[in-house]
Structure 1
Amino acid sequence: MPPSERISRTPSRRALAALLVLVIPACNKAAQDTPTASIPSAAAAPSASVAPPAQDEATRTTRALALQKPSGSSTVDKEIEILVRRIEKTPEPIDPWILLGRAWVRKARYEADPGYYLNAGAVADLVLGREPKNRPARNLRAAVLLESHAFVEAKDLAEQILADDPDDLLALGTKADAELELGAFDAALSTAQRLMDLKPSLPAYGRAGLLRWLQGDPAAAKKNYRAAMDASDPRDPEPFAWVLVEAAKVFWHEGDVDGADKGFDRALSAVAEYPPALVGKARVALAKGDAKRAAELAARAFAKGPLCETAWLLGDARKAAGDEKGAAEAYKRVAEIGRATDKRTLAAFLAAKDKDPDEALALIREEIKARKGIHTTDVLAWALYRKGDFAAARKESDAARAHGTREPVLLFHAGAIRIAQGEKKEGEKLVREALAMNPHFEPNAAAEAKKLLGEGG
């Protein structure tokens, strides 16, 4: 049975949560970018012991980053503080370092702040400098590479780990995620199926939910997300909150705004002030016409996790609320963050606003050198459309929709491109389909879609 069919099943037995919280990219997740160059690589890691003696300046800097005192008073902050004190007292044992690296990953996810992956990467480098073949540290390094958008390197390292142990669950998850971002959809399905076969756990179900959504099967996506929720570990609520947000996005894309809102609320009940859920609720509030509330929610999310996509939403909400100055400030942050760490989102923003098409195209062409997934390809299609290269745009748009993904923005782009090519009937059908799915899918796009149909001013 082919992986695309097998992974759609939802095995009945519940599974234990993975040892390390799942690291799945949010396609719009979806996305949290950290500059690859700023993260120390394992290859550059010093050969010195983890212990303090004989450290050069680079080692001291890496150690200081690994043992940085966390800000905040959450459970994970307290865990990091305990582990740091333990390591400072007795630095020789490896296990506390691995636990510390994983705690930094959890903090990055809880706060939607990819900067904390720098801390996790520093921990991995220190351990690998002492034990180059240490598998937990290699898996930690692979997770950091994935989050830094070094997808080729993450995949290569995961494959090296799997060469030593073909059943390594963390490496399988990293490999599947990297393959998806690199545009190797069938390979990602196969790897995710292997993970599901070995251990149908929250990470496996979560990936299955995403893949089934991308294949245009929302019912199967919801079933897999439900199974992921059932497999969650109550001692670590963030993965559960993440799954709730991903499931709520399916409802959002389908136009069930109230259903999505309930999912985001449940996520916030699991993890207070969880940035991805705040972002979701801000979109809901904007869709319901409460721009002031949307701006307040987006501002809270941005304060915790200053991501490019969140700044974009904050600007749109402030603009809708009549705060032009505040909107301009937020849009300025979109440009600053995007140029530094998130070229895809900035390219999408510029293309959506129909601003600086040359920069939008240059940014996404740079991004696609390292990332060729569905949403990257769609942004390239829209940037080409803005430049008036409709034939090239059509080719990329068709590639983005090749697996049956039914997100409104993809349908709108495909329809607009067809209209520009003179295929008015087919194009308008796709645009109407996008609006029928969710008339609020993105403020600029929805307004532009209505204008194309002659329904907007």
Structure 2
Amino acid sequence: MDRHSPRSLALAAVMALGLGCDAPASDPVAAAVAAVEPPDEAAPAAALALSYAPGEGTTEQAIAAAQAAVRARPDDVAAYDALATWLLRRGRETSDGSYRLYAEDALRTARALDPDDGQALLLSAMVLQDQHRFRGAAALAREFIAAHPDDSSGPLVLGDALLELGDYDPAIDAYQQAMNLRPDLRSYNRAAHMRWLLGDADDAREILVLAIDAGSERDPESRAWCFVDLGDIDLRTGRIDLAEQSARAALHLVPEYWPAQVLLARVLHRKGDRDGAIGQLSAALARRSSAEDLLRLSDWLVEAGRSDEAALREREALALVGAEPRAWAHWLARHDREPARALELAARERSARNNLAAHDTHALALLRSGRLDEAKAASAKALALGTQDPELLLHAAMIDAARGDVAAARAGLQRARSLDAGVDPLLADALASALGEA
């Protein structure tokens, strides 16, 4: 097979490191597993899931049909699984976390009816992932794989959890297993993400196009998610017009899709349309609040001279610090504010996840605290896979400059700007000035 064929591109994404297939199993997390174990008493009636009042639209009507099936067949495990599946899908479409609560209620009933039900087990693992309980999700995914070795869903969920935990080798093995079992939108999407992490944005883009083409018209949200991933890569590598095309394609598939609204806002800001960006991001935040985007909006409002509104958004973001410590740590470190607090929050993030973003934020927080050797080590972890993210490279260059390695700092800044000429102007311009390049 030609190594440049679409299939080989996807396979290369998960085989590029030449890693073995023997992934070490982590110890199961009893507390996380217990959270989805069925109760001993008789199965509950999924009253919460059935209390949801569906609205208009394809997914909402699918929820209504699933509720009707549960009412008609209250002992049918598959009916509860289907209801949970549609509720989780609607949650992804709307970015509304309350749908997860309805889905969990249906899953508790399914597990009570049949503790060995594989679909409920898999969906429960996905719920744990959404709650950032990655070790528990990995434990359930492994349990599912043991019972259903020919189903690609288990390795995909396992790979996602392991990636968040920083277990890159076994994550790649899990994704490869999924690709071998079933090359489809989901496995192509993961392959593309790995290719990006491994430093090849062009291959990642090609594989994401494969993922979009492999999608179904019956599942527009999954295709919209792939368009957002594609646009994010383009935005990070300075291809602004392509990023906008992807954002608008996602919104065409799923109107008011929160991830696409955020992407479009970022694009508009990069294009100099500050008012449009503020309006777009405000609309997205009206649907779902996130500390990262509230702080992003605060920065944009400061740029626009709207300091009172910016302060309000900061306060709103502060209320979410418990759920999003990395966002706050990164923002504080980026603005060189409260270095001790930034470092504390970065450490809290790393206690839950150990991915590249967590290491990058930790490195920036260590830099602001003057712990330069530790910052250098953390930055090396953030770049361990060779990821060509301009912001990661910029932060590494800042650390090199602080350590007195001017040549490395200049090379890093040049590399970051060659990938994206508009990379974080606040930090890039400050570094250039410090290096005498402004």
Considering the TM-score relative to the shorter chain, is it more than 0.5? yes
Q: 1:225 aligns with which of 183, 187, 208?
A: 208
Q: 2:112 aligns with which of 120, 129, 140?
A: 129
70 and 369 in structure 1: CA distance in 2 versus 1, 3 angstrom threshold: farther
Please give the alpha-carbon distance, in whole angstroms, between the structure 1 residues aligned to 2:305 and 2:50: 45
Note if 1:438 corresponds to 2:420: yes
- Matched residue type, 2:368: R
**Which protein, 1 or 2, shows the higher relative CO under an 8 Å CA cutoff with sep ≥ 6?**
1
Please give the alpha-carbon distance, in whole angstroms, between the structure 1 residues aligned to 2:171 and 2:428: 32
81 and 318 in structure 1: CA distance in 2 versus 1, 3 angstrom threshold: farther
- Matched residue type, 1:345: A
Question: What residue is the counterpart of 2:35 in the other structure?
Answer: 41
Question: What residue is the counterpart of 2:6 in the other structure?
Answer: 10
Q: 1:183 aligns with which of 160, 163, 166?
A: 166
Asked if 2 retains the 8 angstrom alpha-carbon contact of 1:292 and 1:318, the reply is: no
Note if 1:241 corresponds to 2:237: no
- Matched residue type, 1:216: G
Note if 1:403 corresponds to 2:385: yes
Asked if 2 retains the 8 angstrom alpha-carbon contact of 1:51 and 1:91, the reply is: no
Question: What residue is the counterpart of 2:311 in the other structure?
Answer: 328
1:95-110 map, 5 Å:
95-110=78-93
Per the TM alignment, residue 334 of structure 1 is displaced from its structure 2 partner at its CA by 1.8
Note if 1:291 corresponds to 2:292: no
Please give the alpha-carbon distance, in whole angstroms, between the structure 2 residues aligned to 1:245 and 1:331: 26
Please give the alpha-carbon distance, in whole angstroms, between the structure 2 residues aligned to 1:445 and 1:113: 33
Note if 1:376 corresponds to 2:358: yes
Question: What residue is the counterpart of 1:34 in the other structure?
Answer: none
Please give the alpha-carbon distance, in whole angstroms, between the structure 1 residues aligned to 2:427 and 2:263: 18
Please give the alpha-carbon distance, in whole angstroms, between the structure 1 residues aligned to 2:386 and 2:434: 24
Partner of 2:352: helix, strand, or coil? coil
Please give the alpha-carbon distance, in whole angstroms, between the structure 2 residues aligned to 1:192 and 1:39: 23
Q: Which one is further off, 441-450 or 200-209?
A: 441-450
Note if 1:162 corresponds to 2:159: no
Per the TM alignment, residue 209 of structure 1 is displaced from its structure 2 partner at its CA by 0.3
Partner of 1:48: helix, strand, or coil? coil
Question: What residue is the counterpart of 1:251 in the other structure?
Answer: 234
1:298-313 map, 5 Å:
298-313=281-296
Asked if 2 retains the 8 angstrom alpha-carbon contact of 1:344 and 1:376, the reply is: yes
Question: What residue is the counterpart of 2:398 in the other structure?
Answer: 416
Note if 1:354 corresponds to 2:336: yes
Please give the alpha-carbon distance, in whole angstroms, between the structure 2 residues aligned to 1:175 and 1:265: 31
Please give the alpha-carbon distance, in whole angstroms, between the structure 2 residues aligned to 1:447 and 1:114: 38
Per the TM alignment, residue 13 of structure 1 is displaced from its structure 2 partner at its CA by 12
Gaps of 5+ in 1: 1-5, 15-36, 53-62
113 and 435 in structure 1: CA distance in 2 versus 1, 3 angstrom threshold: farther
Asked if 1 retains the 8 angstrom alpha-carbon contact of 2:151 and 2:181, the reply is: no
TM-score by length of 1: 0.86
Please give the alpha-carbon distance, in whole angstroms, between the structure 1 residues aligned to 2:331 and 2:5: 36
1:183-222 map, 5 Å:
183-222=166-205
Asked if 2 retains the 8 angstrom alpha-carbon contact of 1:128 and 1:137, the reply is: yes
136 and 434 in structure 1: CA distance in 2 versus 1, 3 angstrom threshold: same
Please give the alpha-carbon distance, in whole angstroms, between the structure 2 residues aligned to 1:452 and 1:189: 40
Asked if 1 retains the 8 angstrom alpha-carbon contact of 2:73 and 2:79, the reply is: no
Q: Which one is further off, 74-83 or 94-103?
A: 74-83
Note if 1:113 corresponds to 2:87: no
Per the TM alignment, residue 148 of structure 1 is displaced from its structure 2 partner at its CA by 0.8
Per the TM alignment, residue 446 of structure 1 is displaced from its structure 2 partner at its CA by 3.9
Per the TM alignment, residue 285 of structure 1 is displaced from its structure 2 partner at its CA by 1.2
Per the TM alignment, residue 9 of structure 1 is displaced from its structure 2 partner at its CA by 6.4
Please give the alpha-carbon distance, in whole angstroms, between the structure 2 residues aligned to 1:353 and 1:87: 52
Gaps of 5+ in 2: 11-30
Q: 1:173 aligns with which of 146, 153, 156?
A: 156
- Matched residue type, 2:355: G
Per the TM alignment, residue 51 of structure 1 is displaced from its structure 2 partner at its CA by 5.0
Q: Alignment RMSD, CA only? A: 2.3
Partner of 2:7: helix, strand, or coil? coil
TM-score by length of 2: 0.89
Per the TM alignment, residue 382 of structure 1 is displaced from its structure 2 partner at its CA by 0.8
**Identity, % of aligned positions:** 31
13 and 331 in structure 1: CA distance in 2 versus 1, 3 angstrom threshold: closer
Question: What residue is the counterpart of 1:344 in the other structure?
Answer: 326
Q: 1:269 aligns with which of 252, 273, 278?
A: 252
Partner of 1:381: helix, strand, or coil? helix
Per the TM alignment, residue 437 of structure 1 is displaced from its structure 2 partner at its CA by 2.1
Aligned length: 416
Partner of 2:39: helix, strand, or coil? coil
Partner of 2:199: helix, strand, or coil? coil
Partner of 2:40: helix, strand, or coil? coil
Per the TM alignment, residue 455 of structure 1 is displaced from its structure 2 partner at its CA by 5.5
Please give the alpha-carbon distance, in whole angstroms, between the structure 1 residues aligned to 2:331 and 2:56: 35
Please give the alpha-carbon distance, in whole angstroms, between the structure 2 residues aligned to 1:202 and 1:432: 36
Per the TM alignment, residue 345 of structure 1 is displaced from its structure 2 partner at its CA by 1.7
197 and 88 in structure 1: CA distance in 2 versus 1, 3 angstrom threshold: same
Please give the alpha-carbon distance, in whole angstroms, between the structure 1 residues aligned to 2:191 and 2:265: 27
Asked if 1 retains the 8 angstrom alpha-carbon contact of 2:94 and 2:257, the reply is: yes
- Matched residue type, 1:229: I
Question: What residue is the counterpart of 2:19 in the other structure?
Answer: none
Asked if 1 retains the 8 angstrom alpha-carbon contact of 2:129 and 2:137, the reply is: yes
Please give the alpha-carbon distance, in whole angstroms, between the structure 2 residues aligned to 1:67 and 1:357: 48
450 and 330 in structure 1: CA distance in 2 versus 1, 3 angstrom threshold: farther
Q: Which one is further off, 319-328 or 82-91?
A: 82-91
- Matched residue type, 1:10: P
